[in-house]
Chain A
Amino acid sequence: MKSVLKIIVIMMSVFTASLAMPAHAQLSIDITKGNIDPTPIAIPDFMSTDSRGQQIGRDLAEVVRADLERSGLFRALDPNSFIEKQTNIDYAPTYADWRVIKAEALVSGRIVVESDSRMRVEFRLWDVFGGEQLSGLRLAATPDNWRRMAHKVSDAIYTQLTGETGYFDSRIVFIDESGPKTDRKKRLAIMDQDGANPQFLLTGPSTVITPRFSPNSQKITYMSYENIVPAIYLLEIETGRRELLGSFPGMTFAPRFSPDGNKMILTLAKAGNSDIYSMDLRSRSTTRLTTNPAIDVSASYAPDGKNIVFNSDRGGSPQIYTMNADGRNVKRISFGKGRYNAPVWSPRGDKIAFVKSTGGKFHIGVMNPDGSGERLLTESYLDEGPTWSPNGRVILFSRETRGRGGKNEIWSVDLTGTNLRRVPTPGSASDPAWSPLLP
């Protein structure tokens, strides 16, 4: 009996081992390093049968090319190099013609203007080397909205080729600055993420600072100095409806939203001591989260809402700390030389962006939520106010140039630190806040 059992066990072992063994191949090679150059992508003008559609097709393709180029992950090929001129997007392209010009992906699209108030955008994304369609999408909008359609096309391409959600169909609120440094006018403005369509959100000369976007709706909070005491407002961008949340003497930053948009986290100075509080937006009740005699400021929620990152000088110099959403389990996570400020948790949850000043220079940096993997992405005379793209891959910040005539500009940098670009603004601009993706 025992020997029979033994034989069965041996047979099972052999069978299992034969299953576990990989399929036999004589040569086995590990490829551990690849190419990280931008992906060459061909985006011909979107075709159309009527002249208006053709104009929109040209403009739309141009915006898509610019969006993808600006991400740093793609290289849009020159349309003059294209060999094949497609006439119908419903047929597969001649892949060999696109391989010759080294395109790895091809976008072929068309515009169908159905009426003055309705336009259809259709496109297919082809994998040139795989020889197959990766995605196909049809969008409908008014012809005036072609720019948003272009951003939506860019998002779809970006998502399909990188695995990340896109960030092109989003907007940026910022502070438009005018006048000399000593008497600067600061007005709340908004524009597309690529700098197009800038417009003021508020009329009047009031000074406004630190706008913050709700992570899941088109609402912002900002701090206004309409009166002597700074006040916090909540503004619905689509309707222009404005609501006073309260006046808070001594406050220097607007509050930030919680991930669900129902709470805000803010710093209140009471009896000369700054501590972090959360405010329920429905009941307007506040809960104190820190009770330290040091200055605790710049709190930001993790995307899961369970943790908070903030800035405190309780260790002797401004450093970054994390704690649970209820204020317990406070941990210091920054230990490098210099002063750390303005930590912001990434919407992806894997990084915390911050401002670091050391050696007379300012840097925008990122670190893991446990403080490891600190990397400085920028260096300049003054970089401040980081804000994340909706997909947590790009950071916007304001940069001030040195000197009396120095002005503020908005810049973007990706997580690798290699794709640093200035975002075009009508004039001097600061305090950017990136919206979530538009609905």
Chain B
Amino acid sequence: MRFGLPISLFAHGLFLAGGIFVFGRNIPVLDEGQVVAVEMLTLAEYTNVRAAVKRPKPKAPEPEIEPEEPMQLETPMETAEVESDVVEKRQDVAAEREPEPEPKPVKTAEAEISEPDKPKDETPKPPEKPVFDLDAFSDIVNRTRDAAPEKNQQVALQSEKNLYEYADIARTASGEGTGLSVSLLDKLQTEMMRCWRESRDAVDPETLVVQFRLRLLPDGYVETVELLGETGNGPFAAVARQRAAAAIKKCEPYDFLPEENYSGWKDMTLSFRPRA
């Protein structure tokens, strides 16, 4: 018994050492993979789509008004007789609200359309529930469409600026890339890459950064070009500036940018940054 603990410790130690010896050798050395630079960006900055939330389902009105319960406790004992009136009135309110049908007409319509041949439910429906007539509804829709076609178009609400953006309504643009989707930005970048002759043969090309500000006309032609800044000096810097300016001109007209998003691209900054 005196040697039980030391023997146990020794045996455990031996077991662990053996484990390390056996399995330690078999740990495969991972190949050095190529590091791929990943740039994290916020989607909202590059799209005209604001983050949207799902419109919450309208809840059915609850028959009893629970929050008013504590009021009863605070009601002075002197007015105890009136309490029944209050309760009655409350019941009246509840009774008035109770018969209101659950607001799920669209769901009903969907069910009707998707399953037209299903035998009608034999269970008697509550008489107060309106019967949905698809033909009648369709007539109404057609009449509305004919009478006021503008009402059939989705438009952004004027009052939605500070509200949630619901996924089922049109949304206004926001973010840095207002008006230009990711694919259009890619297109612009690709076109500039095609037009720009990189100064790769220069000494330390990565130091030759040239930044221009462009103002474009709606037809995609350049209205003004302004040199914002450049790094480096000497003949290589002069050539880098000339090549960047030529690229801007060569890519003209920028008519691949959608005119409806003109406000998003009429004024832009292009930075030509060669990589080493």
Contact = CB atoms under 8 A, between A and B. Distances in A.
Contacts of A22: 228, 269
Interface string A408-428: 000000011000000000000
A35 B273 contact: no
Contact of B196 (A34, A350, A393): A34
Given A27-B267, A29-B185, A130 B176 contact: no
B177 A23 contact: no
A47 B180 CA distance: 50
A34 B193 contact: yes
Interface string A2-36: 00000000000000000000110111111111111
A207 B264 CA distance: 74
A332 interface: no
29 contacts: A25-B269, A26-B178, A26-B263, A27-B265, A27-B268, A27-B269, A29-B189, A29-B268, A29-B269, A30-B271, A31-B193, A31-B196, A31-B272, A33-B193, A33-B198, A34-B196, A34-B272, A34-B274, A35-B195, A36-B198, A39-B197, A104-B246, A127-B242, A127-B246, A130-B246, A131-B249, A163-B238, A163-B239, A163-B240
Contacts of B177: 27
Which of the four size classes fits the interface of chain B? 35 or more
Interface stretch (B28-36, B52-60, B199-207): B199-207
Given A26-B268, A28-B268, A31-B273, A129 B193 contact: no
B50 interface: no
B44 interface: no
A274 to B, nearest CB: 35
B21 to A, nearest CB: 34
Contact of A129 (B188, B200, B249): B249
Contacts of A73: 201
A278 B122 CA distance: 113
Contacts of B273: 30-32
A348 interface: yes
Contacts of A28: 176, 268-269, 271
B234 interface: yes
A325 interface: no
Given A28-B268, A162-B239, A34 B197 contact: yes
Nearest to A33: B193
Contact of A348 (B197, B203, B265): B203
Interface string B164-178: 000000000000111
Contacts of A370: none
Given A36-B198, A104-B197, A163-B234, A29 B188 contact: yes
Given A26-B178, A159-B235, A163-B239, A31 B271 contact: yes
Contacts of B269: 22-23, 25, 27-29
Nearest to B252: A129
Nearest to A39: B197
B145 interface: no
Interface in B182-219: 185, 188-189, 192-203, 213
A49 B180 CA distance: 56
A28 B269 CA distance: 5
A27 B180 contact: yes
A33 B271 CA distance: 11
A272 B182 CA distance: 71
Contact of B249 (A39, A130, A162, A393): A130
B207 to A, nearest CB: 13
| Interface residues of A, dominant DSSP | loop
A27 B176 contact: yes
Interface in B230-276: 234-240, 242-243, 245-247, 249-250, 263-275
A380 to B, nearest CB: 25
A32 B275 contact: yes
Interface in A348-365: 348, 350
A31 B249 contact: no
A23 B50 CA distance: 26
A191 B10 CA distance: 85
Contacts of B235: 159, 163-164
B73 to A, nearest CB: 55
Contacts of B234: 163
Interface string A246-285: 0000000000000000000000000000000000000000
Sorted from nearest, which 3 A-B pairs have the closest CB atoms? A34-B198, A27-B268, A34-B196
A230 to B, nearest CB: 39
A130 to B, nearest CB: 5
A164 B239 CA distance: 10
B236 A163 contact: yes
B199 A163 contact: yes
A29 B242 contact: no
Contacts of B192: 29, 31
A31 B268 contact: no
Nearest to B272: A31
A25 B213 contact: yes
A59 B226 CA distance: 42
Contacts of A131: 249
Nearest to A24: B267
B268 A161 contact: no
A161 B267 contact: no
Contact of B274 (A32, A129, A393, A415): A32
Contact of A27 (B246, B264, B275): B264
Contact of B246 (A25, A129, A164): A129
B179 to A, nearest CB: 8
Contacts of A34: 193, 196-198, 200, 243, 247, 272, 274
Contact of B201 (A29, A32, A159, A162): A162
A101 interface: no
Given A29-B189, A34-B193, 13 more contacts: A28-B271, A29-B185, A29-B188, A29-B271, A31-B189, A36-B198, A104-B246, A129-B250, A162-B202, A163-B202, A163-B238, A164-B202, A350-B203
